[in-house]
């Protein structure tokens, strides 16, 4: 069974500082963070970090994931290649809430060069507090999943 309080967290080199701020922020709320790096600032490859976080979520080792790169876009594209992952990039709190309520997103992506730390933490809170509404939205999410077959 998925540990429902464990969050996979990863980034590329461009987002290490914001990733650490997010880790501190959500750990203070009681979430258990699987921070899979990177820990040092050398240039690295966002597809590897997006895939690593996505695999932790897809396997059930983590309930949700939060991933970051400069724009949030590249790492989101990589994560969405892993079967079972629904990841969206958010730069506002409304979208962060809606990708869970309507799209049952299991990973949030943020652009560390796009949003400041204060807004990023509010985006994270909106994502983590929201719940999937099911109903007509479940039909549509099932249609997304069917595209993986």
- Residues with active-site annotation: 69, 102
Q: Pick between residue 74 and residue 88 the one whose CB is nearest to ligand RB5.
A: 74
Cα 83 to its chain centre, rounded Å, is 15
Q: What is the DSSP letter of 15?
A: G
Using DSSP's 3-state secondary structure scheme, residue 125 falls into helix
Alpha helices in 12-148 (DSSP H): 16-27, 46-58, 73-79, 93-101, 117-129, 136-146
Which region among 32-40, 55-63, 70-78, 137-145 touches ligand RB5 (by CB under 6 A)? 70-78
Distance CA 57, CA 40 (A): 23
- Min separation Cβ 102 and ligand RB5, Å: 25
What are 9's strand-pairing partners? 35, 66
Residue number of the CB closest to ligand RB5 reads: 74
Task: Name which position in 73, 80, 95, 103 contacts ligand RB5 (CB under 6 A).
Answer: 73
Of 41-60, binders to ligand RB5 (CB under 6 A) are 46
Task: Name which position in 16, 69, 82, 105 contacts ligand RB5 (CB under 6 A).
Answer: 69
Place of tokens 């724009």: 71
- Min separation Cβ 110 and ligand RB5, Å: 11
Task: Name which position in 34, 71, 106, 109 contacts ligand RB5 (CB under 6 A).
Answer: 71
> Are 10 and 53 spatial neighbours (Cβ–Cβ below 8 Å)?
yes
Distance CA 122, CA 96 (A): 9
Position 37 contacts ligand RB5 (CB under 6 A): no
Distance CA 114, CA 4 (A): 29
Position 38 contacts ligand RB5 (CB under 6 A): no
Binding site for ligand RB5 (CB under 6 A): 12, 14, 46, 69-71, 73-74
């Amino acid at each position: 069974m998925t540990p429902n309080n464990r969050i996979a967290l990863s980034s590329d080199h461009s987002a290490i500082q914001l990733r650490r701020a997010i880790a501190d922020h959500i750990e203070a709320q009681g979430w258990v963070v699987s921070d899979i790096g990177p820990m040092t600032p050398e240039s690295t490859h966002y597809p590897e970090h997006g895939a690593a976080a996505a695999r932790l979520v897809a396997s059930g080792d983590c309930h949700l994931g939060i991933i970051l790169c400069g724009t949030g876009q590249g790492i989101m594209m990589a994560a969405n290649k892993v079967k079972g992952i629904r990841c969206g990039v958010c730069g506002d709190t409304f979208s962060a809430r809606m990708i869970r309520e309507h799209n049952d997103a299991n990973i949030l992506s943020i652009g560390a060069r796009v949003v400041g730390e204060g807004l990023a933490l509010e985006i994270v809170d909106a994502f983590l507090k929201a719940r999937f509404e099911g109903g007509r939205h479940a039909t549509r999410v099932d249609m997304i999943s069917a595209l993986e077959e």
